[in-house]
Amino acid sequence: MKKIINDPAAFVDEFVDGILLAHPDLLKVPGDDRRILVRADAPVAGKVGIVTGGGSGHLPLFKGYVGAGLCSGVAIGNVFSSPSSQQVFEATQAVHGGAGVLYLYGNYGGDVFNFDLAADLAELEDIETRTVLGRDDVASQPKERKTDRRGVAGIFFAYKAAGAAAERGDSLEQVAAVAEDVVEHTATMGIGLSPTILPTTQQPSFDLPDGEMEIGIGIHGEPGIHRGPLETADAIADRLVPALVADLGLADGDRVAVLVNGMGATPLEELYVLYRRVHQILAAQGVTIARRYVGEYATSLEMAGASISLLALDDARLALLDAPARSPFFQEG
């Protein structure tokens, strides 16, 4: 696999430098550690801060959603590796405007461990924190164990809603409740067609024979629930969408937001072919698509594949999705 990089060991630091140089009006480094980014106006006095974080390799997750109406700061780990507890704590300090800080990130063991340690450090500084975990990957655990599910692309909806709630001045408890509500009403499933090649090892993150696909694969190459011959876009949507509809309990008359997400190496044209069938399936069931997002929102370096996320909507969730937001990779309003 050919890559446009320099020293593989410097990959993360160099792309973070590139982001900072490209978007100095939106982002800044609050201290000496360039693995910690915050919105340019952080801290915002009197408003809840939102800190996210995780391994690199998933742009625009996680660092791409730092900005007005979204997250306040991010702690950046190596490729597919958690940031340290100290990095999370320093990001917490940098965005704390006096109203507390929400930790909003994906449900992965290393991240949970280090964010929990950071919360202990924040408590010693009298910074109140709350934690909400993205856990939208329906393939990773059955519904009765949904609290153990992985967090994948659907966390975008939680960023958007929680960020809007913080921007309008909600309390920490209220912002956390908004994030939890959106997480509870989001479901995602993905498909992998080819693996990621890790920059430092030049080795694939998983093995998948030519001509095959894997349904339910994770963003780090975690095993899915079905492997077999590659199917058409319509057949793939016919597998994924009904599982999401069933998981959310959607019925005739319900409204949803749809996210068709590319994993890094799938052309946008193919994502729209997939969206076409998603739209047809939902329309046939009387489910209205109130908002739609098609593109790369959570990738896995150059993995080929896509994921589909549904967020069940009510008026409150829809208003939060529509609130203004701006980051290097997303703008609304």
pTM higher than the cut 0.95: yes
Domain 8-184+322-332 has CATH 3.40.800.10: no
Across 9-56, the runs of DSSP E, i.e. the strands, are 27-28, 36-39, 49-56
| Distance in angstroms (rounded) separating the CA atoms of residues 139 and 225 | 7
CA-CA distances (angstroms) from residue 319 to 160, 178, 256, 279? 10, 12, 13, 22
Active site residue 23: no
The CATH number given to 186-314 is: 3.30.1180.20
Active site residue 185: no
Q: Considering 23, 96, 185, 220, which one is annotated as catalytic?
A: 220
Per-position pLDDT tens, the chain of length 333: 789 999 999 999 999 999 999 999 999 999 999 999 999 999 999 999 999 999 999 999 999 999 999 999 999 999 999 999 999 999 999 999 999 999 999 999 999 999 999 999 999 999 999 999 999 999 999 999 999 999 999 999 999 999 999 999 999 999 999 999 999 999 999 999 999 888 988 888 888 999 999 999 999 989 899 999 999 999 999 999 999 999 999 999 999 999 999 999 999 999 999 999 999 999 999 999 999 999 999 999 999 999 999 999 999 999 999 999 999 999 998
CA 324 to chain CA centroid, Å, is 19
Q: Considering 58, 96, 185, 226, which one is annotated as catalytic?
A: 58
Residue listed under structure tokens 């982001």: 19
Specify the domain boundaries for CATH 3.30.1180.20 within the chain.
186-314
Q: Is-contact 244 275, C-beta < 8 A?
A: no
Tokens of 68: 């007005």
Q: Which long-range contacts (CB under 8 A, 24 or more apart) does 5-8 make?
A: 5/199, 8/199, 8/200, 8/202
CA-CA distances (angstroms) from residue 167 to 67, 129, 170, 215, 266? 11, 17, 8, 37, 34
Q: Is-contact 73 37, C-beta < 8 A?
A: yes
